[in-house]
């Protein structure tokens, strides 16, 4: 995984002025408004924005530099950990004949990617959560002895509270893309409720990670045929 300095195209000993200059240059080149419909440019821009948001703040930069030291590898990049579920879940109807012989179907959907205005945070300004003092966790005692931690309900475990809502995504953190079309291969013998995984076509997170598309098959009811375990049942009507 690249460092934030590498994402921004600067050396780790660069000045704040060099960081500002590199950000303006890169943002101008990869901004989605200048590259409409270019997913790769959008992902690069998000990484640039994420790097700049940390490196422009001297205190955050010092904390990040400390995390890069060899004995702190466990904490490296903890500030950009992606916890969101980026998978797209869809339901697809298939007929009995299609489950027997297999087929190819085209599906259309709108994927999402992290808002480039706020870097996928939903807000442009945050305050430290007073409930958990910015830790994201609350300590609980059982019988005055056992201590365990639970996510803070006030900040949902984030450790901070947004106070300046992003006008682009309205604090939703993601914006919707134009309609996407992909082909799904339905293998012969597929059953009702089975899930097909199409890797690398899901939503795009704030660190550039891409989710999968999960397609659940829904077998359309057929009055003549039905499947029970490995058997095919055929209903045949005969006259008197």
Task: Report the pLDDT value the prediction gives residue 33, as an integer from 0 to 100.
Answer: 76
Task: Report the pLDDT value the prediction gives residue 77, as an integer from 0 to 100.
Answer: 38
In this predicted model, what pLDDT tens digit does every residue of 22-72 receive, in sequence order?
999 998 898 877 887 676 777 788 788 878 888 988 878 887 786 676 544
Distance, in Å, from the CA atom of 212 to the CA atom of 111, rounded to the nearest integer, reads: 10
Distance, in Å, from the CA atom of 76 to the CA atom of 48, rounded to the nearest integer, reads: 18
- What percentage of the chain carries pLDDT values higher than 90? 22
Q: Checking DSSP bridges between strand 213-219 and strand 88-94, what pairing results, if any?
A: parallel
> Positive or negative CA dihedral for 197, 200, 205, 207?
positive
Q: Which CATH architecture has domain 88-117+170-232?
A: Sandwich (2.60)
The 3 state secondary structure assigned to 107-169 is: EEEEEEEECCCCCCCCEEEEEECCCCCCCCEEEEEECCCEEEEEECCCCCCCCEEEEEECCCC
pLDDT band at 1 (very low <50, low <70, confident <90, very high): low
Residue 14 has pLDDT above 90, yes or no: yes
- All CATH 1.10.287.110 domain ranges in the chain, comma separated: 1-79
Residue 145 has pLDDT above 60, yes or no: no
Which one is the CATH code of 123-165: 2.10.230.10, 2.40.30.10, 2.40.128.120, 3.30.70.890?
2.10.230.10
Global pTM? 0.58
> For the structural domain made of 1-79, what CATH number should be given?
1.10.287.110
């Amino acid at each position: 995984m690249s460092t934030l300095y590498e994402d921004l195209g600067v050396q780790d000993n660069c000045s704040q002025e060099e960081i500002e200059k590199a950000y303006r240059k890169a943002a101008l080149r990869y901004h989605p408004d200048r590259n409409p419909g270019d997913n790769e440019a959008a992902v690069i821009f998000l990484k640039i924005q994420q790097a700049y948001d940390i490196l422009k703040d001297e205190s955050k930069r010092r904390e990040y530099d400390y995390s890069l030291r060899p004995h702190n590898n466990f904490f490296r990049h903890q500030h950009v950990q992606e916890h969101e579920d980026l998978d797209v879940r869809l339901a697809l109807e298939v007929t009995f004949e299609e489950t027997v012989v297999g087929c190819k179907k085209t599906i259309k959907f709108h994927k999402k990617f992290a808002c480039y205005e706020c870097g996928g945070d939903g807000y442009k300004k945050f305050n430290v959560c007073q409930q958990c003092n910015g830790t994201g966790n609350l300590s609980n005692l059982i019988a005055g002895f056992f201590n365990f931690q639970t996510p803070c309900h006030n900040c949902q475990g984030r450790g901070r509270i947004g106070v300046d809502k992003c006008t682009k995504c309205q604090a939703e953190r993601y914006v919707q893309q134009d309609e996407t079309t992909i082909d799904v291969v339905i293998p012969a013998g597929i059953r009702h409720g089975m899930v097909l995984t199409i890797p690398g076509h899901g939503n795009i997170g704030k660190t550039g990670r891409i989710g999968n598309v999960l397609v659940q098959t829904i077998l359309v009811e057929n009055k003549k045929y039905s499947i029970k375990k490995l058997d095919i049942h055929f209903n045949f009507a005969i006259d008197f």
